[in-house]
Amino acid sequence: MNITLRQLRYFLALSRSGNFTRAAEAIHVTQPALSMQIRALEDEVGARLVERTPQGVVLTPQGRSLADHAEKVLGAMTDLETALRQPGQGGRLMLGMIPTVAPYLLPEVLPILRARDIGRDLHLREAQTDTLLDELLAGRLDAVVVASPPEDANLGGELLFQDRFLLAGSAARIADLDGKAIAPSALDPGHLLLLDEGHCLGDQALEVCGLSRRSSRLDLGAASLSTLCRLAAQGMGLTFLPQIALGQETAAAPGLTAIGFPEPQPARQIMLLRRRSTHAQGWFDDLAQMLRNAAQPLLA
């Protein structure tokens, strides 16, 4: 048996409309072309599928059975076509994001993605930078948001925005600085609260201070920025707070105060990366622009 998808589409159009003329109009073919395909389908299955009556077309028992199967077959074909489209254009989009960006940027960008119908089949992965890059190169992710430019020649990306670092601590600790901006290199390493190793934010904070982890005697190895902010709010030390996290963290940690650094202000580059071998037309540029737009209120 050699039934074609075209025959099934034509037959379903006829079964739904119950009329050759309306069915032909619905699928944009001539009525003779539709009739020819229906006759060829009946010859293929070896049975009559429709009966012509004064009121229109009625399906035979074999026709009703075929219509049920045809709905399933064409539904599966639609799912297959969707899955094979470019990410963000009806296909599944696998997006990774580092933990010091995801809690702040995702609430802003998800409504935008849903409005563009990208969020309909969006899968998110939150993990540290090295894990995200490994999964991106392995094809398990389509794009990742990280805080460093790509070092692998197989990866390319777009700069989303510059995320300034602020110095955060309790009101009393900030007051001890006389309310003045202080250069990162002038900070006492023993007062710094850092994220655990593997989190790029902790390493970047040390880098702008010209320090190593051995220099910081108060390295608590916290797993999340929120934990650091709560400890800092209680006077346990000072920490680096990305600007995109300012509103959420100061609201969640009463007493947390943040001030800017003097020029040139330290900042991290938030990048959207993809594999260079992945076709980027449309979905990647659109995604980058939506992420930029979502970040603007956080950076204001």
Residue 37's alpha-carbon distances to 22, 34, 74, 163, in angstroms, are 15, 5, 17, 61
Which residues in the chain show pLDDT less than 70?
78-91, 117-120, 179-181, 197-198, 211-222, 281
Are both 76 and 110 inside the same structural domain?
A: no
Condensed to tens digits (0 to 9), the pLDDT of residues 146-185 reads: 998 888 899 999 999 999 999 999 999 888 887 566 888 8
Are both 153 and 223 inside the same structural domain?
A: yes
CA distance 85 to 83: 6
Q: Residue 56 has what pLDDT?
A: 83
Are both 69 and 97 inside the same structural domain?
A: no
List, in order, residues 6 or more apart from 120 with CB less than 8 Å away: 114
Are both 185 and 280 inside the same structural domain?
A: yes
Q: Residue 206 has what pLDDT?
A: 73
Is residue 88 one of the residues assigned to a domain?
no
**Residue positions counted in the chain:** 300
Q: Tell me which residue range forms the domain holding 49.
A: 5-83
Q: Residue 85 has what pLDDT?
A: 54
Q: Residue 112 has what pLDDT?
A: 83
Are both 195 and 52 inside the same structural domain?
A: no
Condensed to tens digits (0 to 9), the pLDDT of residues 74-99 reads: 888 766 665 555 555 455 788 999 99
Residue 197's alpha-carbon distances to 18, 34, 113, 221, 222, in angstroms, are 67, 67, 32, 7, 9
- Number of domains forming the structure of the chain: 2
Single out the residue in 64, 83, 102 at which a domain terminates.
83
Q: Residue 36 has what pLDDT?
A: 92
Report residue 227 CA to chain centroid gap: 25
Is residue 251 one of the residues assigned to a domain?
yes
Beta-carbon-side half-sphere exposure of residue 164 (alpha carbons within 13 Å): 17
Are both 152 and 208 inside the same structural domain?
A: yes
Residue type at 134 in one-letter notation: D
Are both 131 and 224 inside the same structural domain?
A: yes
Q: State in Å, rounded, how far the first CA of the chain is from the last one.
A: 65
